[in-house]
Structure 1
Amino acid sequence: MKGKGGIVRLIVGCALSAVCLYFVFRNIKFEEVGRALATFHWPYLIVGILSLAIGYTARIFRWKLLLEASGPKVTTAACASPFLASIALNNVLPFRLGDVVRALVFPAALGVTKTGATATLVLERLVDLLTLLMCLAVAASFFPKGALPASVVDIVIVLAVLGSAALLSLILFTGLIVRLVRWFATRLQPKAPEKLISVLHAIADLVEALQSISRMRTIIAALAISFVAWAGELGLYLALMQGIGMVFSLPGGLLLMSMATIATLVPSSPGYVGPYHLAAFTAAHLMGGSATQAMTLAVLCHLGVWLPTTIAGATVMLFHRNLFNAARNQASRDASGDQA
């Protein structure tokens, strides 16, 4: 049934991607897009990829900071391989399975716990979402009233409130949540299935790990590094806008990056094809770009973000086999211990 459920979700995701692509392509003349790509100023792409590399270096350093806050000492260089590999897997597998691999498979290669790695991933995603929402709010403030769809503004407000509440809860209430979950597990233990008790203890362990990394100083540092990371990615979007001849606009770049990235949260086909393109296309239109420019920019932005990170992650996995071997060896040792 799990297999069937996965297939159904994949079919639904692909169907959603197809619908998004229909709305993007329905009024596009592909020969004009081809001419726009032919006249693209390719040196801007080099500048953009270098800026993207700076952004991902900041992300790797942020993960190292969060891992160290949870206990073990790790180096930035050691964190680079599993981080880039997980991004590449996210790019080619559905349902962000690369994140699952980073949380449950790669910790063995780093000598960290799965619970700690999962906690850092949760905090990472929350901080990234808040950073993007701030970027989107700043961008929206530069546009005339009514220029952005009301639905977009409403979604930003709702997500900002929920994200801020979740982050505040991590700071203030994680200890209370841990005590409540463990108390509940203790009360249920005599009569509840063992698997349910194990799940409750796992949840308590995860929240406890989140508590250890959600100190105010750590969160402020993570937010500061996140702005550096997204500034690096913003450089790619701005460079590509310049490359196709659009007017340089910092608010426009923020709008484009924020909308396109938040769209990747929508379940879709592997590689975020469809929702990403529709969001980037819409943002480019809101900036005053023609349909041809908007389509060209959407394609270039997707390739500019997707291709370098996929190549980097695939290269890492090819030359660092220990990423997976360490997990297999750990599983074998655990199995031997259980048998003993």
Structure 2
Amino acid sequence: MAAQPPPAAQGGRLRFWLGVVVGAAFLAVLWFTVDMAAVGALLVRATWPPLALALLAYALDFLLRAWRFRLLLDPGGRDVPFAPTVAPFVASFGISDILPFRLGDVFRVYWFHRRFALPVGHVLGAMVVERVLDLVSILMVAGVALMLVDSTLPAEIVAQFRLVLAVAVIASLAVLLSPALIEGLAGLIERKLPFAAAAKLAETARAVARAVRGSGGPKRIAGMVLLSFALWLLESLVMLGAWVSLGGSVTEGLRPLVAFAFSTLGTLVPALPGHFGSYEFFGMLSYRAVGVGAEQATATILLAHLMLWLPTALFALGWLAAARTGSPLRLLRAG
């Protein structure tokens, strides 16, 4: 009888196929509910100067993100020089945008472990803190945008969205600023939920607490939160650039900011590699909620997503080719 894949591998395959189905379903909804001929006509009329400025902002965003990750890996700045980390950091995102199973994350852990002799757990911990910083920051962006923009949704629904975002931001900040609270939660999970899955969850929580402690004190973490908030605002300029390129007004910049925040949060839903499907669906819904027509919304989302996806994907392919590997898997096996 053939050997069965381990549970982790089965879970990865399940998530992949779920992403394929869900992502394809989201794209199908757009295809059959939006006039794609009108969307194409809008895209053909896109102007280049706003897109060029948006891409410059995106390049700066990734440079600063690489710097932030290096700070999380090496708070003292003694063991991990900055310059060699930028290209593999960016390439890791491109790999995940092309291939399934988050292989870019696997590549990043492996590369930093081998290049700087860092423990695998240390690199994983820095990535966990990075993801929590990103989550709390994009929630903050969504909250600010939702408070300032005029919405076509009923006031009660908008108020509930704001409340949920506020609670999520407070909870995320508690995770970042109080590792003792995380460890206490891990112990509570083990005592109250005597299941194998609960034990793994508690172990993960303790790993997060260790990673937060290794990243510095509350003052340093608060600075990281502010930096991360600024990074997401910088990345949102890609959506603003697409909006202006397609005829939108800069004075209506809160609309693309709302769409950017909620389309990014939508990538938490399983989708195709590169987050295709979920990004478009939730972005279009967000634009519709602030009074933008379906065709204009879809064209802007598609153009912004292309600008977010294509540069990192091409960079990953170019960097891997320059490293004479030909594939991320060969690079992972390289000694």
Query: Which runs of structure 2 are paired with 1:149-164 in the superposition (5 Å)?
Result: 154=160, 157-158=163-164, 160-164=166-170
Give the alignment's Cα RMSD to 1 decimal. Answer: 3.5
Q: Which residue of 1 aligns with 2:153?
A: 147
Match of 1:246 in 2: 248
Give the distance between the partners of 1:268 and 1:324, measured in 2 at CA: 22
- CA distance in structure 2 between the partners assigned to 1:149 and 1:318 by the alignment: 52
Distance (whole Å) between structure 1 residues aligned to residue 76 and residue 32 of structure 2: 49
1:136 to 142, 153, 175: 142
- Give the match for residue 114 of structure 2: 108
Residues 261-315 of structure 1: CA deviation (Å, up to 9, x unaligned): 1111111121111110011212222333322211211210110100011112222
What residue number does 2:237 align with? 235
**Aligned AA for 1:165?**
A
Q: 1:35 aligns with which of 19, 38, 41?
A: 41
Matched to 1:302, the amino acid is H
1:102 and 1:161, CA in 2 relative to 1: closer, same or farther beyond 3 A? farther
Q: 1:216 aligns with which of 204, 218, 238?
A: 218
TM-superposed deviation, 1:220: 2.0
1:319 to 314, 317, 322: 322
1:175-214, CA deviations, whole angstroms, 9 ceiling, x for partnerless residues? 9839x98xx9xxxxxxxxxxxx999989756643431214
Contact (CA 8 Å) 1:70, 1:213: kept in 2 or not? Answer: no
Q: Closer, same or farther in 2 for the Cα pair 1:239/1:202, shift >3 Å?
A: closer
Aligned CA distance change for structure 1 residues 304 and 201 (closer, same or farther; 3 Å): closer
Q: Which residue, 268, 273, 292 being the options, matches 2:271?
A: 268
Q: Which amino acid aligns with 1:224?
A: L
User: Is the alpha carbon distance of 1:104 and 1:163 closer, same or farther for their aligned partners in structure 2, counting shifts above 3 Å?
Assistant: farther
The separation in 1 between residues aligned to 2:200 and 2:19, in whole angstroms, is 32
Residue 194 of structure 2 aligns with which residue?
none
For 2:162 and 2:85, locate their aligned partners in 1 and report how far apart those are by CA, in whole Å.
32
Whole-angstrom CA distance in 2 between matches of 1:19 and 1:233? 27
Q: SS of 1:26's equivalent?
A: helix
Asked if residue 282 in structure 1 is aligned to residue 285 in structure 2, the reply is yes
For the residue of structure 2 that corresponds to 1:106, the secondary structure is helix
What TM-score, normalized by structure 2, do the two folds share?
0.81
Return the alpha-carbon distance in structure 2 between the equivalents of residues 167 and 104 of structure 1. 29
Counterpart CA distance in 2 for 1:201 and 1:293 is 46
Deviations 1:63-89 (A, max 9, x none): 111111288522221221221121012
Asked if structure 1 preserves the Cα contact closer than 8 Å seen for 2:143 and 2:162, the reply is yes
Matched, 1:258 2:264: no
2:312 matches 1:309:
yes
* Structure 2 residue corresponding to 1:125, chosen from 113, 120, 131: 131
Q: Aligned residue for 1:297?
A: 300
Cα distance in 1 for residues equivalent to 2:182 and 2:225: 24
Distance in 1 of aligned mates of 2:52 and 2:135:
27
Unaligned runs of at least 5 residues, structure 1: 185-196, 331-340
Distance 1:240 1:209 in 2: 37
Does the residue aligned with 1:94 lie in a helix, a strand or coil?
A: coil
User: Structure 1 residue 36: deviation in Å?
Assistant: 1.1
> Per-residue deviation at 1:105?
4.4
- Contact 1:128/1:226 (CA < 8 Å) preserved in 2? yes
1:168, distance to aligned residue in structure 2 (A) = 2.1
State the Cα distance separating 1:230 from its structure 2 match: 1.5
What amino acid does structure 2 have at the position aligned with 1:100? V
State the secondary structure of the residue aligned to 2:118. coil
Question: Is residue 18 of structure 2 the alignment partner of residue 12 of structure 1?
Answer: yes
Deviations 1:127-160 (CA, angstroms, capped at 9, x unpaired)? 1111111111111112346637966764664465
Is the deviation greater in 60-69 or in 308-317? 308-317
Distance 2:124 2:165 in 1: 22
For 2:103, the equivalent position in structure 1 comes to 97
Give, as a single letter, the amino acid of the residue that structure 2 aligns with 1:88.
Answer: G
Distance 1:86 1:112, change over 3 A: same
Distance 2:158 2:100 in 1: 25
CA contact (8 A) 2:143 2:165 kept: no
Give the conservation status (yes or no) of the 8 Å contact 2:182–2:206. Answer: no
| Unaligned 5+ runs, structure 2 | 191-198
What SS does the aligned partner of 2:74 have?
helix
| Aligned residue pair count | 318
TM-score, normalised by the number of residues in structure 1: 0.80
